[in-house]
Amino acid sequence: MTLERIDLLLTGIGRLVTPPGSVPRYGGEMRSVSEIEHAAIAIRGDRIALFGPQGDVLTQLNGAEIVETLDAGGRMVTPGLVDPHTHLVHGGSREHELSLKRSGVPYLDILAQGGGILSTVKATRAASEQELYDKARKSLDIMLLNGVTTVEAKSGYGLTLEDELKQLRVAKRLHEEHPVDVVPTFMGAHAVPPEYKGRPDEFVELLVNEMLPEVARKGLAEFCDVFCEQGVFTAPQTRRILQQGKRYGLIPKIHADEIETLGGAELAGEIGAISAEHLLAASDEGLRMLAVNGVIPVLLPGTSFNLGLKQHARAREMIDTHQLPVALSTDYNPGSCPTESIQLIMMLASLNLRMVPEEIITACTINASAAIGRAHDIGSIEAGKRADLTLFDVPNIAYLPYHFGINHTFGVIKNGKVTVWDRQIKGRKNAGER
């Protein structure tokens, strides 16, 4: 890239931290991140042009036209964080189920009684497209203020063709209108809707024959996900749905072995899913199948925490024994994990998954971007990659999972534009609206 003109030069970076490269980091590689003190980053358009020790960068820019220079004030800078598993677009909320949960009724029992996901289905069907948009947009603002620059968003609270399309259209509009990039996943197989109660195979046929083809035709999803779980969708039903998704160009993902061991991890390996999510109850063979087939485990420690489970995903074995490229995500949803805070997830990954800070940063950047097929474009600070950067008011990465329960993000640069500064969103497209 020619260095004749730089649009934004970020100087005064106390510590620049990034995983290297543009491919997922496997196992032991997750621990090695590049750290540069007193750094600078030069941006041209929406791309990183140059980065390194500030003295070196300034020397290389000698004679270049620099449109704007911004002082990071000694803060830490990482790649913009990526949240690769959310149920961002939904109606209503589920605090009315909290007492039931706390009295010991399990998550899947609440669903079997017509609550849980199905109570959100009712609220989502009743909501207008604009109401869904306004609610999701508020969550997206919170994510951005927490340092997230790309999120994946699943449908799955409509469960009719029209209501699934409604959710996916909202995700598309958010992607176009909000600074955060929104990557859409079709998850019509999230639950069996009440009108198909006791007839799950008929619902699978509807998904396969009508919903999937139409979603794909309209270009409203990149990925297809299935909740493969006891009492929800079986492994054979999951296989059928994801194989049909593949025929229509949708890349498979699986909510696999979250609560019961159903062989979801094995299936993710067999069909070549890009990622397998949750995995608390995954078998040894399942983990081996993920490794052999290059499937990215997306771990969601906020969910096991919030469900009060004793069991956690076996992150240490995934990383140390199976050399897997672990990613982390919020799982933001109104039931099992009502939080947008990826920084809380970092703390829980440290506490309950025993991941070290370098692994956590890798899991929230390059590996998270790989879980949504974008490691070539985002997830690390590299010349030529998208200029998505997060500034934290912390001295080093260990401080992020260490000092918990508050937001450490000071600023965000998205597509080369200063989008959050001094903890405020700038450059909002429809600034006057809210």
Kindly state the smallest distance separating residue 17's Cβ from ligand IZC, in Å: 31
What is the spatial distance between Cα 174 and Cα 182, in angstroms, rounded to a whole number?
A: 7
Kindly state the smallest distance separating residue 278's Cβ from ligand IZC, in Å: 8
Q: Which of 54, 86, 120, 237 binds ligand IZC (CB under 6 A)?
A: 120
Between 181 and 331, name the residue whose CB sits nearer to Zn ion. Answer: 331
Q: How far is CA 141 from CA 124, 270, 420, in A?
A: 20, 37, 10
Among 59, 20, 14, which Cα is nearest to 39's? 14
Residues 6+ apart with CB under 8 A from 162: none
What is the spatial distance between Cα 383 and Cα 339, in angstroms, rounded to a whole number?
A: 33
Kindly state the smallest distance separating residue 222's Cβ from Zn ion, in Å: 16
Our finding on whether 302 is near ligand IZC (CB under 6 A) is no
What is the spatial distance between Cα 129 and Cα 73, in angstroms, rounded to a whole number?
A: 42
Per-residue contact track with Zn ion, 105 to 144, x per CB under 5 A?
----------------------------------------
Kindly state the smallest distance separating residue 87's Cβ from ligand IZC, in Å: 5
Our finding on whether 333 is near ligand IZC (CB under 6 A) is yes
Residue nearest to ligand IZC (CB): 335
Q: Residue 334: name its binding partner from Zn ion, ligand IZC, none (Cβ under 5 to 8 Å by kind).
A: ligand IZC
Q: Stretches 140-148, 331-339, 351-359, 410-418: which one binds ligand IZC (CB under 6 A)?
A: 331-339
Q: Please give the structure tokens belonging to residue 406.
A: 């508050």
* Residue 270 CB neighbour total at 10 angstroms: 15
Kindly state the smallest distance separating residue 339's Cβ from ligand IZC, in Å: 13
Between 97 and 377, name the residue whose CB sits nearer to ligand IZC. Answer: 97
Q: CB–CB of 72/8 below 8 Å?
A: no
345 three-state secondary structure: helix
Kindly state the smallest distance separating residue 321's Cβ from ligand IZC, in Å: 26
What is the spatial distance between Cα 262 and Cα 282, in angstroms, rounded to a whole number?
A: 8
Our finding on whether 227 is near ligand IZC (CB under 6 A) is yes
Element housing 42 (H / E): strand 34-44
Q: Stretches 30-38, 71-79, 259-267, 326-334: which one binds Zn ion (CB under 5 A)?
A: 326-334
Among 258, 344, 262, 234, which Cα is nearest to 309's? 258
Residue nearest to Zn ion (CB): 331
Number of residues that bind ligand IZC (CB under 6 A): 10
Kindly state the smallest distance separating residue 116's Cβ from ligand IZC, in Å: 6
Between 266 and 331, name the residue whose CB sits nearer to Zn ion. Answer: 331
Q: Stretches 113-121, 126-134, 212-220, 375-383: which one binds ligand IZC (CB under 6 A)?
A: 113-121
* DSSP-derived pairing of the beta strands 417-421 and 409-414: antiparallel
Q: What are phi and psi of 216, to 5 degrees?
A: -65, -45
Kindly state the smallest distance separating residue 330's Cβ from ligand IZC, in Å: 12
Q: Stretches 20-28, 268-276, 333-341, 402-410: which one binds ligand IZC (CB under 6 A)?
A: 333-341
Q: How far is CA 299 from CA 153, 369, 428, in A?
A: 16, 14, 31
Q: CB–CB of 347/341 below 8 Å?
A: no
Kindly state the smallest distance separating residue 3's Cβ from ligand IZC, in Å: 47
Among 247, 209, 210, 243, which Cα is nearest to 226's? 243
Our finding on whether 87 is near ligand IZC (CB under 6 A) is yes
Q: Residue 116: name its binding partner from Zn ion, ligand IZC, none (Cβ under 5 to 8 Å by kind).
A: ligand IZC
Q: Which of 85, 173, 255, 408 binds ligand IZC (CB under 6 A)?
A: 255
What is the spatial distance between Cα 340 and Cα 333, in angstroms, rounded to a whole number?
A: 9
Q: CB–CB of 313/353 below 8 Å?
A: yes
Q: How far is CA 13 from CA 40, 77, 142, 172, 194, in A?
A: 6, 7, 24, 34, 54
Window 343 to 402, contacts with ligand IZC (CB under 6 A): none
Between 229 and 331, name the residue whose CB sits nearer to Zn ion. Answer: 331
Q: Stretches 214-222, 324-332, 365-373, 393-401: which one binds Zn ion (CB under 5 A)?
A: 324-332
145 three-state secondary structure: helix
Our finding on whether 335 is near ligand IZC (CB under 6 A) is yes
Among 256, 244, 243, which Cα is nearest to 287's? 256
**What is the binding site for Zn ion (CB under 5 A)?**
331
Interface positions with ligand IZC (CB under 6 A): 87, 116-117, 120, 227, 255, 333-336
